[in-house]
Amino acid sequence: MNAGPNVLSFTETIVTRRGVRRVGVLRRRKAVEMRESVWNIQVDGKPLQGWIRDWTGAQDAPAEMADLHSSFPAAGLLRIDHLLGLEQGPGTQRVGLLFCPICRNEACGYLSCEIDLQDDAVTWTRFGWEDTVAGSARTTPIAGAETLSFDPEAYREALLTLRRKISPVDQSTTV
């Protein structure tokens, strides 16, 4: 376990996604590249993917990314609400953190953790990969994962600041 409170922050990354659009009178398919802004979760200045890599001893960080992007703010705002404890995540106290970089939804499986929001600390524990394949174990724990603990006021402020950046017209930051 870490010695003191961790610091939650977010970094903006511009990603390029390939897609198909229908164009012209005949609505022919055309391959296009779309650029969008994605906010990545960082703890103590280190991407969450780096923490996962270090905990598991893997050579590479996972490709999964946070579903926090300003080109589709509704998804990002919902994820922020999960992290604030305003909306229920995939389980009673579980929240999704990193999702498939292609589809960015729960269908491919995703990284989650249990969140505990108290007056004196916010903790993320029991990190694991959620599996959505029927008949498989629901959560595969990440061996060696540490508990991350945050100061509740700084945690909330980081999330509300991100909320304003994702959706500047959203004034519901008085939660």
Domain range annotation of the chain: 8-166
How far apart are the C-alpha atoms of 70 and 87, rounded to whole Å? 20
pLDDT computed for residue 1 by the predictor: 47
Per-residue tens of pLDDT for the chain, all 175 residues? 455 699 999 998 887 777 778 888 888 888 888 777 788 899 999 999 999 999 999 988 888 888 787 556 788 888 899 999 987 766 668 898 998 877 777 777 889 999 999 999 999 999 999 887 766 668 889 999 999 999 999 999 999 999 998 886 655 545 5
Residues 93/70, Cβ–Cβ less than 8 Å? no
Nearest to 44 by CA among 98, 85, 3: 3
Beta bridge partners of 125: 114
Residue type, 26: L
Q: Give pLDDT, residue 69.
A: 72
